[in-house]
Structure 1
Amino acid sequence: MWKNYLLIALRNIRRNKLRTFVHVFGLSLGVGICLLIFQVVLHAFSFDRFHSDADRIYRVHTVSEWQPGERFESSGTSGPLGEVIDDELAFIETKGRLYTLSEVSAVVPDQNRYIGKSNLVAFADQGFMKIFERVWLAGNPETALSSPFQAVISESSMQKYFPGLEASEVLGKEMLWIDAADSIYTHIHGVVRDYDQLTDFIFKDFISFSTIAQLEKSDWYGLHSWTNLNSSSQLFVKIAKSEDQAQLDEGLQKVASKYLDIDDNSEKFSAKPLNTMHFSENFNGTEVSLDLLKGLIFIGVIIMLLACLNFVNLETALAIKRSKEVGIRKTLGSDRKQLMLQFLSETFLLVIAAACLSVFLADGYYQLFSSYLPETFQYISFSVYNGLFLLLISVLITCLSGIYPAVILSGYQPQRALKGEVQGGSQLGYGSFLRKNLTVIQFTASITFICLVLVLRSQLQYVSSQPLGFEKDAVMYVRLPFMGDPEVKAQLNDRIWQQSSVSAASLSNALISSNSLWTTDSYLQGDTTGQALYVHVMNVDSAFVEVHGLNILAGKRASNKIDEVLVNKNFLHQANLSSPEEALGMSLQISGEQRRIVGVLDNFNARNLREEILPMVFIYSPTYYNYLNVKLAPSQNLSHAKLSLEAIVKEVYPYESGEFLFIDEAIEGFYEADRRIQGILSFASGIAILISILGLYGLSSYTIAQRSKEVSIRKVLGAGVTSILMLISKQYIWLVLISTTLAIIPAYYFSNQWLKEFAYKIEMPYVVFGLVGLAVLGMALTVVFIHSLQVIRTNPAKVLKSE
């Protein structure tokens, strides 16, 4: 029986080549997207699943809430918490402390060999190595990292530091790590194998945590105070099997109440399961937004549903052509169940063909969007997971797409089907209503996607064209060593400024506009009263104003004196000062030091345009400069000037990259995630509108097939082509207009939710919604006109000869 079903299905597929192409192509578009999204989601949820007892491992976060609605969560914790947590909470089996470092220079002292800078070095204790087990190639895990100045390195680091040596041979070797705080001499007490599975624990080298105290650097690393929050200070715990997250959170709240001086529970500790770390704050900025993953899944489901609706539309539209086949089969003894199985087997073959094609389409999607995806992600064409996914989705699509057409086709009455009267049934009247609604759903989704893309595009164009309050053309910057010798940096700055290609140069602790933010409390002293102000601080030299073309409203630019500061215009508003001149000479206490306001700058956007401009204070503290900013002279060859300046930086700092970057490129990077979302939605819009047009083709096929005799009679009676086209197209105009009306609701909601993230934003472009509707209507009518003309141009005698 099944063999017979398959043979008949194959014959029908071969006979109706256009139908087969439309079905297979339409479904493969949706299945390909779902397959790629499935692999992306599977990849994201695969991080750090291999650790023993992963379900009992948690990372402790700190949650602060200054006022309702202003909540800040950090993956870091205060240092003292790591010292007392296992004493306070008896159900903690093991605690693991980690302090991450950045830009650490590695040196092999015995060879006097500089290895380079690394972001893969961290302080860790024995507990951390117990929680996150490793394969030890050499050393004793019970004693390694137990004392100050001990180190454990990975196998890949060993091959880099001591090429040609075995793991046992490097034990006891000396390593020097140079951090901003100090030079740390250590001896290697262990070598571990690198993780070969997906993990967010990227670190290769570990220095014993007790080294920090031995160096007397607890203050420097911010581990000395309960009130000091440092995201580099990480705390992991493994709890007993009998406990759960609720008990851990309750215990952490008791610890917070005991040790933190807080009011109304404004600050607390919170436990996060290990399997959520990839979706919050990890160690190399590759965390994935759960909301983004949910959005991708939603887009995949929508596209797949549109493809299924398209299948249903086209199958029911072509059902009239198979009515006599059904009548003959029923006359020969086939029952309704057998006919349904026959049609479902035909649908399943089409879906399987689409699934096979989708494997290659998904690879094409991956090539198109590879820059949007994590570096660790690789598309795999053939795997067990892919096979299972494609099988499950094929069965699901067969059920969603095939059952309704199978019910309709198998329900034809033989005597009516053989006479060609199937369209008169009440069941098909319902079917016509359903098909029109399915088409409305398809176009609603398509119009919604297109509207969202255009709103995103308009907003991104708006933020790109907004004046930021400073000059960004031909301005470059280079990163310098943090906490390097201030005199060396000043000499480098002077040397750069002397170059003919440079019009100005300046040192600062941050870029003119970046995601970096240093905020603190300040105290403005008036004639009789004082006022506390929360301000954004930038540490810059006197040339910073010239390099970036900042506008001075009153006073002068600072003259590289510690007791002089500049403020911005919003500082005046916050301090209730009526004019810039009024602020000049006022005393401002900041960072425990008394300073004097000597100038007022006009506002500029020191952050991205999602945020309002904060009250700002510009101080002078040369010890902490780590950026050199350069304004190039007019009419310079940018490439040549860049190379010559980089050569000078490399002379002074041979171990730094010395690469100059343009500030306008850094600013463009603020909105890279939004551009990626726009790209994904643009692609989804294209697929959705393509599938919708295919669905419209199915609906118009059905309608025109039903009305072919009517069209022929009208032609005989003298009706023109235009009047017939308008008659046929009228219902499609209404369908698209209804779709546009319905699409406005989700398009407005999602656009408005996204625009709320921006302090500077466009007005909702309602006109765009109407223009998109008109554009889609134009495409739809074009398809209908092309299809209708084939029928209109047919000789009426061929259509009416059976009457």
Structure 2
Amino acid sequence: MWTDQLKNALRLTLRRLSRQRLNTSLHIAGLTIGMSVCLMIGLFLRHELSFDAYHSKADRIYRINTVWTDNGNKSPHFSTPVPLGDALREEVPGLEFVAQWHPLGEEVVEINPQRRFAQKNIMLAEPDMLNVFDIKPVQGDAFAALRKPYQALLTRSTAKKFYGEENPIGKSFKFRNQFDITVAGIIEDFPANTHMNATMVMSFFKDEQFMQNSVTSWTFVMGTSTYVVLPQGTKLTDFNARLKGIADKYINKHETRPGSRTDFDAQPLHDIHFNSTYAGGGQWVQAVNANWLWVFGIIGLAVLILACINFINLSTAQALTRTREIGVSKALGAGRMLLIRQFMVEAWVLAFASGVLALGVSYVCMPLINTLMEKQIDYNFSQNPILITALLLGIALTGLLAGLYPAWILTRFNPVDVLKTGSQVAGDHRSTWLRKGLVVTQFSISIILLVAVTLMAQQVNYLRSKNLGFDHDNVVTVNLPQMNKASLFHSKLNEVTAIKNVSFSTSTPAAEGHWGTMMSLTNGDDPQRKDVTLILADPQFRDLYNLKLVAGRFLEPADTNLISRKLPNEQQIANVVVNEKCVKALGFASAADALDKKFWYGMNSGNAHIVGVVADFNATSLHNAIQPTLMTQVPEYYSLAGIKIEANHNLPQTIVTIEKAWKTSFPDQIFDYKFLDEQIDAFYKAETRLYTLFKIFALLAVVISCLGLYGLATFAAQQRTKEIGIRKVLGASVAGITGLLTKEFLALVLIALVIASPIAYYAMQQWLADFAFHIDVRWQVFAGVGIVAMAVAFLTVAGQSIRAATMNQVKSLRSE
């Protein structure tokens, strides 16, 4: 019997929905938007929360991190000294597996003279990496390959990129133009949700020239990661105690610096993607802020709730058109539960239609989201039953949330009163206040998002336009592969009239991975020694980047300390230039006072002689405060060429000319260049993405809120039809009636502004606190957003109000 009732309810629902196409479209549009946003955010969260969860031993895998402590200041890093791996195997019994891997930067791979690639994400790995992680071999003996030097496992996509459809096993390629590497196997591509997304795995051959890392030093840390698999039941505190013992045995043996020590700690695998504490430029996939995952989840639910509120308001706005239908049904014996079931069927039909459309919208939009977020989020619904199940549950829950209140309110009318007056809704003050409260909630959420978008736009613009203390326009950077040929490259560039200046250094003034060391007015054993950023640069560095000289002079060719470095440490004196922050950190009263002073610095435990002071400049992103910075010359360490191009010259043609000079100087290397201003913009990529997403969310929230407001305006206009007719008979103008109908809705928006403002203020203050340099949150932002919200609300309501005000008064008076 219930099946017949369901069929009848479905038939009636489809008939009614097809007759009221506008209202049906509004219902479906709102729910589709809400469910699409919720679904896409759900896919994003699922991707982020599943990082590294696919490994069978994931709950027992730990990465060992290094933590340096100096006078209470901790400097954590994700990598460890290479000797730690063997020490763990020999001195910590019971560990299931210990494995190390080392990331390489962009390397030149030559298949043949005509096929050369600049390959990224190359991993050097020990054989037990295959036991620690679920790396899937496809072809060849992966374990045997990683036990031999100069062997490589290619991922499927890399093998196809290098060799096409040929079988690559046994073939060899040239690595860095000097090593012959044999392809010994193929492995599956690493999934997108892992922190070690390698394109190639090569054997962990402990050769310092090959690894570009020290393999014996306990104090040299350059990217090597160490992983362990702990046995079931192992207490992490016990294992960390063993790590402390190893650190004390091999590193913490100095007695003159009691405040300085090195420690190792074990970090669970599932924590790596959500913990940005352990910094380092060798990480291929940057950690995410877990708080922002909560924010996105809340936004997804908020947009869905907005859509449900919109559904409720639109449904109750139609109450006056359905009261007679309900009254007749009740008079003919229909019980309230039967009527509620009918309304719930309508809600679920609309929710199902919206869910299907949301599925299509998500499928179309996810490639755009992946591009925007630089992610590879899987959105193949057909092969993921969990996603389909979640979507069906979401449809059922959305239909329940959206349909239950309208069903309850529309089925409680007294049939006698309904058939006599045609309305029972007008006197329900509780329902009226609830609907108004829902509209206030909608606009509060919308205003919070609008304030966030406005302040994000201002902050991003501030980040991009702030004077960083150096010139970065029209500057091209090129990594230098070999310093013994760099002089030829330098001379070739100097012949180009379009090039204003050339400088060799270890980095640009602003970079993610500056070198660092310590400094002190006494010696390296000083417990009060301080951190200092280290830039090795030639004399042209100042002119190219237009650094402002405050006192003394900049570096000169004669300042190079190549000769003095052959002397004993205490006789090594390097002429250096420091910034104003460094002057203050060393305790000098002024830049002039610092000139000609000497201090100890950690590079080769040498002594520095201050010959000049430059104005402070931002050496990193504006998330960070300006740090003490030291510049000196050590030519053999230069790894970067900065090239300043004249502003009035053809930029593309000049790049071609630079490439010709490169090929003449480094014929075996691949030419790759970057613009410095683009590198600086990349510092704020996360903020730019966030700003773009919030713009989308804010727009959708406003659209949904307007649909809800439209529904309430329709309801109010219908409810007051007779009142409007009487007012018109008594001489009220259209403008007066329009103002009467719109002012209460504008009051709701004003209330929403009052509620939303402190919430938005607090949230944005927390976001801006992540920046050392940021804008102030001004009241004008809230005033502007309030005006925009009021204007949007007025335009939404005005149409219904004017239509009601211009209605024929005879019809108005007869409507009830």
2:581 pairs with 1:584: no
How far has the Cα of 1:611 moved from its partner? 1.7
Question: How far did 1:382 drift?
Answer: 4.7
Q: 2:126 is matched with which residue?
A: 125
The answer to whether 1:433 aligns with 2:433 is yes
Q: Quick one: which amino acid aligns to residue 10 of structure 1?
A: L
Q: In structure 1, how many angstroms separate the alpha carbons of the residues matched to 2:244 and 2:77?
A: 16
Distance 1:127 1:265, change over 3 A: farther
CA-CA distance at 1:372 after TM superposition: 1.5
The TM-score with structure 1 as length reference comes to 0.90
CA distance in 1, matches of 2:212, 2:778: 51
Q: The residue matched to 1:92 in structure 2 has which SS?
A: coil
Q: 1:203 aligns with which of 192, 198, 207?
A: 198
Deviation at 1:115, TM superposition (A): 4.6
1:575 to partner: Cα distance: 2.4
Tell me the equivalent position of 2:216: 224
Instruction: Write out per-residue CA displacement over residues 512-542 of structure 1, whole angstroms, 9 at most, x where no aligned residue.
Output: 222222221123369xx99844211111100
Distance 1:792 1:268, change over 3 A: same
- The 2-side partners of 1:164 and 1:381 are apart by 30
Call closer, same or farther: CA 1:404–1:106 in 2, change over 3 Å. Answer: same
Q: CA separation in 1, counterparts of 2:191 and 2:465?
A: 44
1:524–1:533 CA contact under 8 A, matched in 2? no
- Structure 2: how far apart are the matches of 1:443 and 1:764? 21
**Structure 1's 264 and 339: CA in aligned 2 closer, same or farther, altered over 3 A?**
farther
1:240 aligns to 2:231 (yes or no): yes
Partner in structure 1 of residue 19 of structure 2: 15
One-letter amino acid matched to 1:459: Q
Q: Please tell me whether residue 300 in structure 1 is matched to residue 300 in structure 2.
A: yes
Measure, in 1, the Cα distance between the counterparts of 2:398 and 2:261. 50
1:128-527 to structure 2, matched below 5 A, reads: 128-134=129-135, 136=137, 143-146=144-147, 152=153, 170=170, 177-178=175-176, 190-195=184-189, 197-198=191-192, 200=194, 201-209=196-204, 211-212=205-206, 215=207, 221-230=213-222, 232-243=223-234, 248-249=239-240, 252=243, 255-256=246-247, 261=252, 268-280=263-275, 283-285=283-285, 287-366=287-366, 368-377=368-377, 379-380=379-380, 382-383=382-383, 384-420=385-421, 422-423=423-424, 428-481=428-481, 484=482, 486-524=483-521
Residue type matched to 1:84 in 2? A
Structure 2 distance, partners of 1:704, 1:137, is 69
Residues 739-764 of structure 1: CA deviation (Å, up to 9, x unaligned): 00111122101110111112222111
Match of 2:39 in 1: 35
Whether the 8 Å CA contact 2:157–2:189 is kept in 1: the answer is no
Looking at structure 2, the residues matched to 157 and 358 of structure 1 have their Cα atoms a distance apart, in angstroms, of: 35
Counterpart amino acid of residue 390 in structure 1: L
Within 5 A, what are the aligned runs for 1:65-144? 72-106=75-109, 115-134=116-135, 136=137, 143-144=144-145
Q: Is residue 524–residue 530 contact of structure 1 (8 Å, CA) maintained in 2?
A: no
User: In the aligned structure 1, how far is the partner of 2:343 from the partner of 2:319?
Assistant: 11
Name the structure 1 match of 2:712: 699
1:557-606 CA-to-partner distances (Å, cap 9, x unmatched) read 21132232111122222223233222222223321122322111122222
Give distance in 2, aligned partners of 1:501 and 1:250. 61
Q: Once the 2 structures are TM-superposed, how far is the Cα of residue 122 of structure 1 from its aligned partner?
A: 3.1
Aligned residues: 783
- Counterparts in 2 of 1:334 and 1:219: CA distance versus 1, 3 Å: closer
Per-residue CA deviation, residues 391-413 of structure 1 (Å, 9 max, x unaligned), is: 11110101111111111112111
**Is the CA contact 1:525–1:586 (under 8 Å) kept in the aligned structure 2?**
no
| Cα separation, 2, equivalents of 1:348 and 1:176 | 62
Residue 736 of structure 2: which of 715, 718, 723 is its match? 723
State the 1:185 CA deviation.
Answer: 5.7
Counterpart amino acid of residue 778 in structure 2: P
By how many angstroms is 1:132 displaced? 3.0
The farther-off stretch of 384-393 and 610-619 is 384-393
- Relative to structure 1, the CA distance from residue 82 to residue 767 in structure 2 (aligned partners, 3 Å threshold; closer, same or farther) is same
Mark the CA change 1:664 to 1:185 in structure 2 (over 3 Å): closer, same or farther.
closer
1:438 shift after superposition: 0.5
The Cα offsets for residues 355-407 of structure 1, whole Å up to 9 and x where unpaired, read as 12212322443354342233533544655444323211110101111111111
Cα distance, 1:287 vs structure 2: 4.9
Cα drift, residue 72 of structure 1: 4.3
Q: Does the Cα contact within 8 Å between 2:57 and 2:133 map onto a contact in 1?
A: no
Cα 1:506–1:704 change in 2 (3 A) is same
CA distance 1:688–1:267, change in 2 (3 Å): farther
Q: Relative to structure 1, is the Cα distance of residues 704 and 479 closer, same or farther in structure 2, using a 3 angstrom cutoff? A: same
SS at match of 2:511: coil
Q: In 2, Cα distance between the equivalents of 1:107 and 1:775? A: 59
Identity, in percent, stands at: 29
Contact 1:150 1:187 in 2 (8 A): yes
Distance 2:192 2:475 in 1: 39
Specify the code of the residue in structure 2 equivalent to 1:313: N
- Can you list the C-alpha shifts for 1:438-477, whole angstroms capped at 9, x where unaligned? 1100000001100011111111222222222222222222
- Root mean square deviation of aligned Cα: 3.1
Alignment partners' CA distance in 2, 1:64 and 1:405: 62
C-alpha separation between the residues in 1 aligned to 2:579 and 2:416?
87
1:312 Cα shift? 0.9
2:65 is equivalent to residue 54 of structure 1: no
| Maintained 8 Å contact 1:286/1:374 | no
Q: Which moved more, 1:669-678 or 1:134-143?
A: 134-143
Change in CA separation of 1:61 and 1:216 when aligned onto 2, cut-off 3 Å: closer
Report the CA distance shift for 1:497/1:305 in structure 2 as closer, same or farther (over 3 A): same
In 1, Cα distance between equivalents of 2:475 and 2:412: 74
| Cα separation, partners in 2 of 1:708 and 1:479, compared to 1, 3 Å | same
Measure, in 1, the Cα distance between the counterparts of 2:65 and 2:220: 13
SS in 1 for 2:63: strand
* Whole-angstrom CA distance in 2 between matches of 1:722 and 1:162: 76
TM-score, normalised to structure 2's length?
A: 0.88
Which string of whole-angstrom CA distances, capped at 9 and with x for unpartnered residues, describes residues 2-52 of structure 1?
111111111221122221011000110111112222222333345544433
Please show how residues 586-601 of structure 1 align to structure 2 within 5 Å. 586-590=597-601, 591=603, 592-601=605-614
Q: Distance in 2 between matches of 1:566 and 1:419?
A: 93
Task: Assess, with a 3 A threshold, how the Cα gap between structure 1 residues 267 and 292 changes in structure 2: closer, same or farther.
Answer: farther
Separation in 2, partners of 1:671, 1:143: 43
8 Å contact kept, 1:525–1:587 = no
Unaligned segments of structure 1, at least 5 residues: none
Aligned pair in 2 of structure 1 residues 254, 31: CA closer, same or farther (>3 Å)?
farther
CA shift for structure 1 position 435:
0.6
1:668 correspondence with 2:663: no
Partners of 2:77 and 2:150 in 1: CA distance: 29
1:650 CA displacement: 2.1
CA distance in 1, matches of 2:49, 2:639: 37
- Listed as ranges, the gaps of 5+ residues in structure 2 are 277-281, 562-573
